[in-house]
């Protein structure tokens, strides 16, 4: 199908883009990589009257590692972030997660910020932003505000971004010293959206005892779900072997899986538990000799 008629705008500065967003309000949509928006428009599931193409905002094309974290601007494509060695050193989970996002052609065009704003509960990067304690920087004609990931994902495909706001960047938290990170998901085919997935971060002390542990689930509930595992994992030594099934049961007890045409809620719950065991094993292995 073809999209319904729309007016096309091509701003060259952020100010021009935010003015257009302010003018078009509910009827305007930002076009970044188009990997989610264009299919939705072609299927007539979205029919914005104004498209504001931000691909010429060349001042929003940077990746920087700062004291705040890994700052990824709005035009950075998934593939570029995955290839960035400084970002990888600061937060290894980024590359691990991005390798699971769709296929190379989609990663070459789709933006990481676009994926976060799109707020698909099946997507990897919203869960990674939440897990790392990240945030989104939003700009409008009224100024700039920082929205914590914990407040950003309000429903399936629904974020806290207002229609007049442009997400200028996303900031991912960096990995602390002696951190182990992992991400696991189950898909029908390689590159598909996950049926269920989990990302984890643990930290250990010099003796290998776990200090902090967190998991974030995607494609399980309506929004990414963060679970603190410190109560069950703090003090556990990664060098002496741990029974993880009960940890996985604890982790998934509060996560309420949803059912859809791809999986029942029970199947998602089963996948979430199994993937938790695997992801925690991976993360523990990574820091065994840290
Ligand atoms: C076949 C296929 C498989 C895919 N598989 C996966 C997958 O496994 N995992 C995954 O995570 N993703 C997957 N994707 C989606 C892909 O990651 C998209 O690129 C991403 O979700 C959206 O990024 P985009 O830059 O293309 O955004 P667009 O499609 O341009 O925009 C998406 C939405 O975000 C808004 N938006 C975008 N950028 C901004 C901004 N800076 N400020 C304000 N609003 C903004 C748009 O208005 C729109 O509502 C898949 C896509 C396809 C087509």
CA of 278 to the centre of ligand 1 (A): 28
CA of 156 to the centre of ligand 1 (A): 14
| pLDDT band at residue 254 using 50, 70 and 90 as cut-offs | confident
Sequence spans of domains, the chain: 7-53, 63-173, 179-289
Residue 219 has pLDDT above 90, yes or no: yes
pTM above 0.95, yes or no: yes
pLDDT at 154: 97
Second CATH level (architecture) for the domain 7-53? 2-Layer Sandwich (3.30)
Ligand 1 atom nearest 125 alpha carbon: 11
Average pLDDT, the chain: 96
pLDDT at 290: 79
Question: Model confidence over 82-137: pLDDT tens digits?
Answer: 999 999 999 999 999 999 999 999 999 999 999 999 999 999 999 999 999 999 99
CA of 269 to the centre of ligand 1 (A): 26
The half-sphere exposure of 178 on its side-chain side, counting CA atoms within 13 A, is 14
Question: Model confidence over 8-36: pLDDT tens digits?
Answer: 999 999 999 999 999 998 999 999 999 99
| pLDDT band at residue 262 using 50, 70 and 90 as cut-offs | very high
Q: What is the mean pLDDT of residues 240-265?
A: 92
Residues in the ligand 1 pocket, defined by CB under 6 Å: 29-37, 39, 74, 101-102, 106, 110-111, 113-115, 117-118, 123-125, 161, 166-167, 193
pLDDT at 242: 84
Whether domain 63-173 has CATH 1.10.287.110: the reply is no
Residue 144 has pLDDT above 80, yes or no: yes
Ligand 1 atom 41: the closest Cα is on which residue? 167
Residue 158 has pLDDT above 80, yes or no: yes
- Assign a CATH topology to domain 179-289: Enolase-like; domain 1 (3.30.390)
Residue for token digits 């914590």?
148
């Amino acid at each position: 199908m073809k999209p319904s008629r729309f007016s096309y705008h091509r701003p060259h500065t952020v100010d021009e883009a935010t003015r257009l967003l302010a003018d078009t309000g509910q009827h305007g949509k930002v076009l970044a990589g188009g990997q989610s928006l264009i299919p939705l428009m072609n299927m007539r599931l979205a029919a914005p009257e104004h498209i504001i193409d931000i691909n010429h905002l060349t001042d929003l094309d940077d990746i920087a590692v700062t004291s705040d974290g890994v700052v990824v601007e709005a035009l950075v494509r998934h593939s570029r972030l995955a290839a960035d060695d400084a970002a990888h050193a600061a937060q290894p989970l980024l590359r691990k997660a991005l390798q699971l996002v769709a296929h190379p052609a989609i990663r070459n065009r789709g933006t990481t910020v676009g994926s976060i704003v799109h707020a698909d509960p099946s997507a990897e990067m919203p869960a990674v932003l939440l897990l790392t304690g990240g945030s989104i920087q939003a700009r409008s004609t009224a100024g700039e505000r920082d929205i914590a990931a914990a407040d950003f994902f309000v429903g399936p495909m629904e974020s806290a971004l207002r229609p007049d706001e442009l997400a200028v960047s996303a900031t991912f938290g960096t990995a602390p010293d002696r951190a182990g990170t992992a991400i696991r998901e189950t898909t029908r085919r390689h590159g598909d959206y996950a049926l269920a997935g989990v990302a984890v971060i643990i930290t250990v002390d010099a003796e290998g005892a776990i200090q902090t542990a967190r998991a974030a689930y995607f494609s399980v509930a309506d929004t990414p779900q963060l679970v603190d595992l410190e109560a069950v994992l703090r003090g556990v030594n990664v060098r002496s072997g741990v029974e993880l099934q009960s940890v996985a049961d604890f982790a998934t007890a509060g996560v309420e899986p949803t059912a859809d045409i791809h999986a029942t809620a029970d199947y998602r719950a089963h996948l979430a538990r199994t993937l938790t065991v695997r992801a925690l094993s991976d993360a523990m292995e990574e820091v065994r000799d840290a």
